[in-house]
């Protein structure tokens, strides 16, 4: 049996970053990770604020030693070239002015390894095994986790706080501690992806998004001097109806989704197996409680199109460490049923903002492109960078919410307009 202050389930970016932030505050932790790193993971493009989170973790020097590309912005190509917009990565200087910035695109096998290595260097203990059960007292209070080690032995880890950073496994929800996993709005989609060599690249290695129609799009993310991550996203039934092998479907869709993608992939070589992730959109309400909280994908994932996953995982890691330190050191919330309720509310504020932005993009892509490219350009630069935790909505975000409210009203009054139109 082991004892620690914080047991962290999952050594991905969310879990490892939580351990690094906790170590800075003198709090001991154990990370439980079921996979041996380096391991493949999808999700290579960072937002501007995510890049800042990486610097705040003290990882800028390590980033120089891994293959990566510099991201100056994102271009979203509209259907057949219409509604295209570009948003640069920018930060706010001390006077609140927008100034040029950059962030990174990186192979996750490299990135996730350097974050986990740093967590271990900073003092967290890494236990290789799979968390299988939550330890609870008779009144239900969480006090640790049970782990099946790589050699099959069972280890119990007692902790003052349990952090679920298990990603899409959503361990605390699946084991009935946190709330139920509800389907997200962008469920029933399939992302099929690989890494390729031989793609035609622009002078700058930015993240490119290619829109075909609602829930049907592709990404193009250069991740080192030779390699590009390409993914195609389609409704699940569209793929099923194709009756094609996944690899054939992937290579064919690259040419079908958008001419701006097709011209970049005349003859590419796959350097990774073709993988897929389905039904990745979900939401868990009630992801904190006495002695536990969730970070990153362990409680919510909306839609990958604007590359916010790593951003949320790293941002929430810092917030979680602050909340845990206040709880353990200063007794903040000790008398409350849920000492981490404020953390949960703050996380949801950022995620709800992105949910609203995505809803507007998918329902009204042309208005969205106009807002982003012209009408509310600065507000959209802020949103895409990840400055999304303001209680007062910017004019751009208010416009997004107005459109969403209109669309919701229309859907109620004329549901036939929103019936699924099969893709051709
Ligand atoms: C198709 C797609 C494309 C994406 N593209 C982007 C992108 O371009 N940019 C971006 O920022 N994000 C992207 N994302 C999202 C991003 O990958 C995730 O949001 C991010 O990895 C979340 O980090 P995390 O630490 O919460 O979870 P993860 O990175 O998934 O880490 C969870 C860890 O927990 C471990 N684990 C799980 N269960 C257990 C257990 N029981 N015991 C022990 N260990 C366990 C796993 O092995 C894993 O290492 C994309 C997602 C999808 C689906």
pLDDT tens, residue order, the chain (424 aa): 999 999 999 999 999 999 999 999 999 999 999 999 999 999 999 999 999 999 999 999 999 999 999 999 999 999 866 778 999 999 999 999 999 999 999 999 999 999 999 999 999 999 999 999 999 999 999 999 999 999 999 999 999 999 999 999 999 999 999 999 999 988 889 999 999 999 999 999 999 999 998 889 999 999 999 999 999 999 999 999 999 999 999 999 999 999 999 999 999 999 999 999 999 999 999 999 999 999 999 999 999 999 999 999 999 999 999 999 999 999 999 999 999 999 999 999 999 999 999 999 999 999 999 999 999 999 999 999 999 999 999 999 999 999 999 999 998 898 887 775 544 3
Pocket of ligand 1 (CB under 6 A): 9-15, 32-35, 41-46, 130-131, 165-167, 169, 171, 191, 231, 277, 280, 296-298, 304, 307, 309-311, 313
Closest residue by Cα to atom 14, ligand 1, is: 43
Residue 215 falls in which region: left (phi positive, over 0), alpha (psi -120 to 50) or beta: left
Classify each residue of 273-298 as buried b or exposed e, where b means 16 or more C-beta atoms within 10 Å of its C-beta.
ebebbeebbbbbebbbbbbbbbbbbb
Beta bridge partners of residue 189, listed in sequence order: 235
Q: What is the per-residue DSSP string for 134-168?
A: EEE-TT--EEEEEEEETTS-EEEEEEEEEEE--GG
Is the ipTM beyond the 0.90 threshold? yes
Q: For a pocket test of ligand 1, which of 42, 125, 309 has the largest count of ligand atoms closer than 8 A to its C-beta? A: 309
Rounded to the nearest angstrom, the distance between the alpha carbon of 296 and the centre of ligand 1 is 8
Q: Residue 415: what pLDDT? A: 84
Query: Could you tell me the CA-to-CA distances from 177 to 125, 235, 277, 289 in Å, in that order?
Result: 24, 31, 25, 9
Question: Do residues 46 and 105 touch, judged by C-beta distance below 8 A?
Answer: yes
Can you say whether residue 203 is alpha, beta or left, with left for phi > 0 and alpha for psi between -120 and 50 degrees? alpha
Cα–Cα distances (Å) from 45 to 170, 192, 228, 275, 306, in that order, read 22, 16, 11, 18, 9
Q: CA-CA distances (angstroms) from residue 405 to 254, 342, 364, 398?
A: 34, 27, 12, 10
* CA atoms of 92 and 251, how far apart (whole Å): 40
Domains, in order of start, for the chain: 2-60+107-184+281-348 (3.50.50.60), 70-104+188-278 (3.30.9.100), 355-414 (no CATH)
pLDDT of res. 360: 97
Q: What is the pLDDT of residue 24?
A: 98
Q: Find out whether 124 and 21 touch, Cβ atoms under 8 Å.
A: no
299 Cα: distance to centroid of ligand 1 (angstroms): 11
CA 12 to ligand 1 centroid distance, Å: 6
pLDDT computed for residue 79 by the predictor: 83
For atom 38 of ligand 1, the residue with the nearest CA is: 166
* Interatomic CA distance for residues 230 and 386, integer angstroms: 23
Task: Report the phi/psi class of residue 83: left, alpha or beta, with left for phi > 0 and alpha for psi in -120 to 50.
Answer: left
- Of the candidates 32, 8, 39, 10, the one whose C-alpha atom is nearest the C-alpha of residue 149 is 32
| pLDDT confidence of residue 423 | 42
Identify the CA nearest to 139 among candidates 332, 289, 351, 364.
289
Rounded to whole angstroms, how far apart are CA atoms 121 and 156? 23
> What was the pLDDT predicted at 420?
58
With contact defined as beta carbons under 8 Å apart, do 221 and 227 qualify? no
Q: Name the residue with the closest Cα to ligand 1, atom 17.
A: 43
Beta strands in 279-387 (DSSP E): 282-284, 288-289, 292-294, 300-301
Closest by Cα among 358, 415, 318, 418 to 50: 318
State the Cα angle at 134 between 130 and 137, rounded to 5°.
155
Ligand 1: nearest atom to the Cα of 14: 25
CA angle (415, 421, 424) in 5-degree steps: 170
Atom number of ligand 1 nearest to Cα 47: 11
């Amino acid at each position: 049996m082991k004892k620690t202050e914080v047991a962290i389930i999952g050594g991905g970016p969310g879990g490892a970053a939580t351990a690094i932030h906790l170590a800075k505050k003198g709090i001991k932790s154990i990370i439980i990770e079921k996979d041996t790193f380096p391991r493949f993971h999808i999700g290579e493009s960072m937002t501007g604020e995510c890049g800042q989170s990486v610097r705040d973790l003290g990882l800028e020097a390590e980033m120089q030693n891994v293959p990566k590309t510099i991201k100056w912005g994102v271009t979203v190509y509209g259907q057949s070239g219409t509604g295209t917009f570009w948003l640069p990565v920018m930060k706010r200087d001390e006077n609140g002015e927008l100034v040029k910035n950059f962030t990174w695109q990186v192979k996750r096998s490299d990135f996730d390894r350097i974050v986990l290595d740093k967590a271990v260097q900073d003092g967290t203990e890494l236990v290789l095994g799979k968390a299988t059960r939550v330890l609870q007292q008779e009144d239900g209070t969480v006090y640790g986790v049970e782990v099946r080690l790589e050699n099959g032995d069972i280890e119990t880890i007692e902790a003052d706080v349990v952090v679920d950073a298990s990603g899409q496994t959503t361990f605390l929800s699946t084991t009935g501690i946190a709330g139920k996993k509800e389907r997200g709005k962008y469920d029933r989609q399939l992302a099929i992806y690989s890494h390729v060599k031989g793609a035609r690249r622009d002078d700058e290695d930015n993240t490119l998004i290619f829109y075909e129609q609602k829930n049907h799009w592709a990404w193009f993310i250069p991740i080192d001097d030779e390699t590009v991550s390409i993914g195609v996203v389609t409704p699940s039934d569209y793929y099923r109806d194709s009756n094609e092998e996944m690899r054939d479907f992937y290579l064919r869709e690259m040419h079908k989704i958008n001419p701006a993608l097709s011209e970049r992939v005349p003859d590419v070589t796959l350097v990774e197996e073709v993988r897929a992730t389905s039904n990745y959109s979900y939401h868990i309400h009630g992801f904190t409680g006495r002695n536990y909280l969730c970070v990153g994908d362990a409680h919510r994932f909306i839609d990958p199109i604007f590359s916010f996953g790593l951003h949320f995982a790293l941002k929430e890691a810092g917030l979680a460490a602050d909340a845990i330190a206040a709880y353990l050191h200063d007794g903040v919330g000790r008398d409350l049923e849920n000492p981490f309720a404020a953390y949960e509310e703050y996380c949801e504020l950022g995620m709800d903002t992105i949910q609203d932005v995505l809803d507007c993009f998918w329902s009204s892509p042309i208005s969205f492109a106009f807002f982003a490219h012209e009408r509310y350009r600065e507000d959209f630069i802020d949103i895409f960078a990840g400055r999304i935790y303001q209680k007062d909505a910017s004019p751009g975000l208010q416009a997004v919410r107005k459109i969403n409210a209109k669309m919701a009203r229309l859907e109620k009054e004329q549901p036939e307009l929103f019936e699924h139109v099969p893709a051709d």
